[in-house]
Copies of this chain bind each other. A is one copy, B any other.
């Protein structure tokens, strides 16, 4: 379970993990859920709202679908699939607690993907397809009170190096 702010490099680290881990791991992310929603919910009060300065406000409808989605991802893992999830704990410790309950009975490696806010914002600008401000707004708040097994810093090391540090904890 990779947790990190927008543009912190989670997805790239996940792809590197898939490449270097000897077994086949499926990579899923909260962005995949957003892409699977009806366009009407991708930026609306009922779904998920992206504010002009990078605020992300999930509506009640989105929260329910998100909970169902994570329940399903947990079921995939219980059915035997190895899964790398990349997520954004908008609620910090509370999000981790909720996720921990959804993943009950599963072996989970909690990974913090950190990145200096300024570097994350630079990458957000470089991507060109994100609302500017999300990276800086989330860079530290998503880690508040969250407890990790491993932490990596994508501002200090290349994604592949970060993946190697994580892989060392995967049995």
**A-side interface residues toward B, CB under 8 Å?**
12-13, 15-16, 18-19, 21, 24-28, 32-33, 36-41, 46-47, 61, 64-65, 67-69, 71-77, 79-81, 119, 122-123, 125-129, 155, 158-161
Contact = CB atoms under 8 A, between A and B. Distances in A.
Contacts of A158: 119, 122-123, 155
A69 B82 CA distance: 11
B46 A68 contact: no
Contact of A80 (B21, B33, B38, B64): B64
Given A72-B72, A159-B123, A38 B19 contact: yes
Contacts of A12: 126
B125 A16 contact: yes
Given A19-B39, A71-B75, A61 B24 contact: yes
Given A46-B24, A47-B24, A65 B81 contact: yes
Nearest to A32: B32
Given A40-B19, A126-B160, A72 B79 contact: yes
**Considering the complex of A and B, which 4 residue pairs feature the smallest CB-CB distances, nearest first?**
A72-B76, A75-B75, A122-B160, A68-B81
A37 B26 contact: yes
25 contacts: A15-B126, A15-B127, A16-B122, A16-B125, A18-B37, A18-B39, A18-B128, A19-B38, A19-B40, A21-B38, A24-B37, A24-B40, A24-B61, A26-B33, A26-B65, A32-B36, A39-B129, A69-B81, A71-B75, A122-B159, A122-B160, A122-B161, A123-B159, A125-B160, A126-B160
